[in-house]
Amino acid sequence: MKYTIKPVGDSALTIIFGSEIDPEISRIVRMARTCLTNKEIEGVIEYVQTYAALMVHYCPVTISYDELAARIDAELSRMDSSSDQTEKRTFVIPVCYGGEYGPDLPAVCAHTGLSEKEVIRRHSGVDYLIYMLGFLPGFVYLGGMDRSLSTPRLKVPRERLEKGSVGIAGDQTGIYPLVSPGGWQIIGRTPLELYDPEREPSILYEAGEYIRFFPINETEFKRIRREVELGIYKYE
Amino acid sequence: MAMHVLFPGPRTTIQDQGRPGYQNSGFAPGGFMDRDAAKTANVLVGNEDTEAVLEFCLIGPVLFFDETVNIAVSGGDFGIDVEGTFCPADRPVRVPAGKKVKITTGQAGLYGSLAVGGGLDIPPVMGSRSTSLRCGIGGFRGRALAAGDEIPLRNPENGRKDLSWRWVPPRRQVPPDDPAAARVRVIPGPQENMFTPKGLQTFYESAYEITSHSDRMGYRLTGPRVEAADGYDILSDGIANGSIQISGSGEPIVMMADRQTTGGYAKIASVITVDLPLFAQLRPGQKVRFEKCTVQEAQKLLREEDKMWKDHCRMLEENSPNHYKPYRLSFSEEGSSRSGCRSCRRSGWAGRKPRRAGLRSGRKSSGQKTAGRKSAGRKSACRSCR
């Protein structure tokens, strides 16, 4: 396992494991995050996992860059990257495709030449790896979308995307956890509250886990929405 | 027992140290834009230096309090106008109940911090009182302040204390129209290698102007294009406070408190923590030059600064006039000159009437008395307190 450690200012450093989007590199980044988190290194504030790097935010008054880099080096050299203990966890997200909730589903069908049913089947038929979160709280960068669903972004971005909107942009698919402007082709919406500051944890999934979309109809959407609002919905 | 907002100012929010620990979920930590200003204002009014403050941008709020309070403002060239009486920044000001407080704006600086003695009674969300406008959480109802807001005070008792003796060492300020541009130190990397030698030379030798497209998320700069060998896009990775991205236009963006947690532009360098408050105070139109610094140097500077600050805070606590009260009581009322202990606080003093509410003047004479008492008091600490 190869990596380089570089400073990012005086209060953060980055451990670079590679330079491409690759499930194997992502797995190693996640292992390194778990390994270092478990060591509870004094002075470390938090770890941020991205596609091929791990950022470490720390307090330089407590630990210097040189000390921390040496400590990380020692811990990672002891880590056995082949023995991954973490089990695969898949988070199921119910999505109501098309209609009012997915205004761009016809556009995606037109661009891909697939029927609505087929787009839904292909979009909900896979487990997507969460490579990283960023941009907005709970916004996921997913890998593994069927290439046949690729559709370019809207030419004119929408000023308002409802929270829970599920969309496609080029080869990517993702969900907007908050109301936001955006140029994604919106094909559906989830009734789940993906980000809730009052809930513990506020965000229900993390990098390295998987997401699967589960098609539901409008009646189920409204039922789940009610359960979510009442706080009785069981997340899986 | 509340702070009443008469006029909020365009972008006034409540901020504290921020909300670290959630960046892996895409949640920016936020918090003070100018950490030094917030610490200063807080310590002047007797708060912990991490207490939540009102942070305003260029134009401050107009307020009144229905209780006598101590307040202080710090940051840029701001002042406090209490119904016509001007009080400078970086000094504690005792504001009587009902008096109108207006923040005045001077020639320099962008962000101001206004601390209220005893703190604001705001529930923390995810461990912080900072307002995140993007997520609509924290601060006062997750939004910027508006006229008519009433923000409860956590400990209005603070207003009974006279804190006019408290002081802080002066901070580095950028002159309003420095032709030479402010100098800000940066640590190179982590994607410095994506830039050509010519690009790096441009970056370190040019002055960049702060544009009006600057806010709590980041400051966009304009100036000579920084040349990259093969584009500015990277595989998205983490962003630190003060990281300098070079965007597709070839111009720098300095990422600030409400930045995104990850990004896809190459980072040429990061502003060092010690210089970040100074940088944050640059107004649109002002210029900045970047100077290289090593991570070791930057951390040494930060540790020195932190030690000086902590020593100063300790000194203020130890020299607090409240600390000498038992001795003073015995000195003036019992006539025995060396009997009291300066450290073991006893009753007696509590029976004394609180000082008259009002803006204090004649600060000098009371300060001199305090100094005299201090030296006498030191001798008289009992053995257990020494």
The pLDDT of residue B176 is 61
Which residues, listed in sequence order, are joined to residue A64 by a DSSP beta bridge? none
Tell me how far apart the alpha carbons of residues B276 and B219 are, in angstroms, rounded to a whole number: 12
A202–B242 C-beta distance less than 8 A: no
- Find the closest chain A residue to B306 by CA distance: A61
Domain boundary among B268, B299, B330: B299
> Do residues B5 and B145 lie in contact, with contact meaning Cβ atoms separated by under 8 Å?
yes
Give the residue, B15 or B384, on which the prediction is more confident.
B15
Residue B150 has pLDDT above 90, yes or no: yes
Strand (E) or helix (H) holding B203: helix B197-205
CB contact at 8 A, A102 and A187 = yes
Does the pTM surpass 0.95? The reply is no
- Residue pairs between chains A and B whose CB atoms are closer than 8 Å: 146
Three-state secondary structure call for residue B151: strand
Report the percentage of chain B scoring pLDDT > 90. Answer: 70
Interface mutation target, options A8, A136, A163, chain B, most CBs of B under 10 Å: A8
Looking at residue B322, its pLDDT comes to 60
pLDDT band at B363 (very low <50, low <70, confident <90, very high): very low
Instruction: Read off the pLDDT of residues B46-103 as tens digits, 9 standing for 90 and up.
Output: 999 999 999 999 999 999 999 999 999 999 889 999 999 999 999 999 999 999 999 9
Convert the pLDDT of each residue in A213-222 to its tens digit: 999 999 999 9
Beta carbons within 8 Å of B365's beta carbon, 6+ residues apart = none
Residue B371 within any structural domain of the chain: no
Test B240 with A12 for CB contact under 8 angstroms.
yes
Encode pLDDT of B262-310 as tens digits. 998 999 999 999 999 999 999 999 999 999 999 999 999 999 999 999 9
**Stronger pLDDT, B180 or B251, i.e. the higher one:** B251
In a shared domain, residues B149 and B223? no
pLDDT, position B382: 42
Q: Cβ–Cβ of A60/B137 closer than 8 Å?
A: no
Contacts of A47 in chain B (CB under 8 A): 24
CA-to-CA dists, residue A227 to A204, B148, B359, angstroms:
17, 36, 56
Number of separate domains in chain B: 2
On average, the pLDDT of chain B sits at 84
CATH number for the domain that contains residue B186: 2.40.100.10
Q: Quote the percentage of chain A above a pLDDT of 90.
A: 77
Domain A4-78 has CATH 3.30.1360.40: yes
Q: Answer yes or no: is pLDDT of A47 > 70.
A: yes
B377 found inside a domain: no
Determine the pLDDT at residue B174. Answer: 65
> In chain B, what is the straight-line distance between the N-terminal and C-terminal CA atoms, in Å?
39
CATH 3.40.50.150: does it fit domain A90-230? Answer: no
Residue B194 to residue A152: CA distance in whole angstroms? 28
Out of A47, A57, A61, closest to residue B303 by CB: A61
- Cross-chain Cβ contact A64/B270 below 8 Å: no
| 0.85 surpassed by complex ipTM | yes
Q: Are residues B59 and B140 in the same domain?
A: yes
Segment among A222-226, B221-225, B320-324 with least mean pLDDT: B320-324
Is the predicted pLDDT of residue B319 greater than 70, yes or no?
yes
Report chain A residues whose CB lies below 8 A from the CB of B189. Answer: 6-8
Q: Which amino acid is at A138?
A: G
Banded pLDDT at B367 (limits 50, 70, 90): very low
Rounded to an integer, the average pLDDT of A40-45 is 97
Residue with the two structure tokens 């009442």: A230
* Interface contact A133-B25, CB threshold 8 A: yes
Mutate to test the interface with B, among A3, A4, A6, A10 (most CBs of B within 10 A): A10
| Residue B241 placed within a domain | yes
B59 and chain A in contact, CB less than 8 A: no
The pLDDT assigned to B179 comes to 64
The answer to whether B193 faces chain A, any CB pair under 8 Å, is: no
Query: Would you say residue A96 has pLDDT above 70?
Result: yes
Residue A18 has pLDDT above 50, yes or no: yes
With a pLDDT cut of 70, the percent of chain A lying above it is 98
- Burial track B234-249 (b if 16+ CB lie within 10 A, e otherwise): bbbbbbbbbbbbbbee
**Cβ atoms A171, A188 nearer than 8 A:** no
For the beta carbon of residue B347, count every other beta carbon within 10 angstroms. 8
* Contact assignment for B260 to A51 by CB distance below 8 Å: no
Enter the tokens of residue B330: 């015995």
**Per-residue pLDDT at B217:** 94
pLDDT reported for residue B178: 64
Assess if residue B113 is contained within a domain: yes
The candidate with the shortest Cα–Cα distance to A8, out of B186, B270, B54, B77, is B270
State yes or no: pLDDT of B330 exceeds 50. Answer: no
Q: Clarify whether residues B194 and B228 are in a common domain.
A: yes
In whole angstroms, what is the distance from residue B61 CA to residue B53 CA?
13
- Residues 6+ positions from B83 with CB-CB distance below 8 Å: B99, B100
A203/B267 CB distance under 8 A: no
pLDDT level of residue B373 (50, 70, 90 thresholds): very low
Q: Assess if residue B110 is contained within a domain.
A: yes
Contact B237 A53 (CB under 8 A): yes
Confidence class of residue A85 from pLDDT cuts 50, 70 and 90? low
The parent domain of residue B62 ranges over: 2-160
Evaluate whether A110 touches A151 at the Cβ level (below 8 Å). Answer: no
Query: Do B10 and B96 fall into the same domain?
Result: yes
Q: Are residues B140 and B191 located together in one domain of the fold?
A: no
- Residue A47, token pair as written in the block: 């770890």
Inform me whether the C-beta atom of residue B303 falls under 8 Å from chain A C-beta atoms: yes
CB A93 within 8 A of CB A192: yes
**What does the pLDDT read at residue B157?**
86
Residues of A in contact with B239 (CB under 8 A): 8
pLDDT at position A234: 84
What is the rounded distance in angstroms from the CA atom of residue A49 to the CA atom of residue B313? 37
Quick check: A63 pLDDT over 90?
yes
Dist CA B87 CA B78 (whole Å): 10
Q: What is the mean pLDDT of residues A112-132?
A: 96
Q: How is residue B229 written in tokens?
A: 């060998």
User: What contacts B275, CB < 8 A, 6 or more positions away?
Assistant: B184, B185
Strand partners, B98: none
Q: Which amino acid is at A1?
A: M
> Does residue B323 sit within a domain?
no
Residue B294 lies in a domain: yes
B25 has pLDDT over 90: yes
**Residue whose token pair is 């030449």:** A113
- CA–CA distances in Å: residue B229 to residues A7, A191, B21, B193, B266: 22, 46, 35, 9, 11
Is the bond preceding residue A7 a cis peptide, omega within 30 degrees? no
Say if CB B132 and CB B19 are below 8 A apart: yes
The two beta strands, A90-97 and A140-143, are unpaired
Query: Looking at A163-177, B236-250, B368-382, which range is the least confident one?
Result: B368-382
3-class SS letters over chain A: CCCEEEECCCCEEEEECCCCCCHHHHHHHHHHHHHHHHHCCCCEEEEEECCCEEEEEECCCCCCHHHHHHHHHHHHHHCCCCCCCCCCCEEEEEEEECCCCCCCHHHHHHHHCCCHHHHHHHHHCCCEEEEEECCCCCCEEEECCCHHHCECCCCCCEEEECCCEEEEEECEEEEECCCEEECCEEEEECCCCCECCCCCCCECCCCCCEEEEEEECHHHHHHHHHHHHHCCCCCC
* pLDDT tens digits, one per residue of A173-202: 999 999 888 889 999 999 999 998 888 888
Sign of the CA dihedral with B23 first, then A195, B12, and B16 last: negative
Amino acid, res. B178 = D
Does residue B327 sit within a domain? Answer: no
| One domain for residues B60 and B128 | yes
Q: Which residue has the tokens 């997340």?
A: A235
Residue ending a domain, among B281, B299, B317, is B299
Q: For residue B288, what pLDDT is reported?
A: 95
Q: Are strands B111-116 and B69-75 parallel, antiparallel or unpaired?
A: antiparallel
B149 and B252 inside one domain: no
Of A9, A201, A203, the CB nearest to B270: A9
Does B187 reach chain A within 8 Å, measured CB to CB? yes
- B128-147 residue pLDDT tens: 999 999 888 999 999 999 99
Same domain, B24 and B155: yes
Q: What angle do CA A213, A216, A218 make, to 5 degrees?
A: 135
Contacts of A200 in chain B (CB under 8 A): none
**Domain regions of chain A by residue span:** 4-78, 90-230
Distance from CA of B224 to the nearest CA of A (A): 23
* A14/B295 Cβ within 8 A: no
Give yes or no for residue B324 having a pLDDT over 50.
no
Q: What are residue A231's phi and psi, to 5 degrees? A: 80, 20
Adjacent-strand bridge partners of A90: A210
Burial classification of residue B324, based on how many CB atoms lie within 10 Å of its CB (0-12 exposed, 13-18 middle, 19 or more buried): buried
Spatial neighbors of B79 by CB under 8 A, at least 6 apart, are B73, B86, B87, B88, B89, B103, B104, B106
Q: What is the mean pLDDT of chain A?
A: 93
Whether residue B357 has pLDDT greater than 90: no
Which residue, B160, B195, B216, sits at the end of a domain? B160
How much is the pLDDT for B370? Answer: 39
**A140 pLDDT above the threshold of 90:** yes
Nearest CA-CA distance, residue A203 and chain B, Å: 7
- Are residues B242 and A9, on separate chains, in Cβ contact within 8 Å? yes
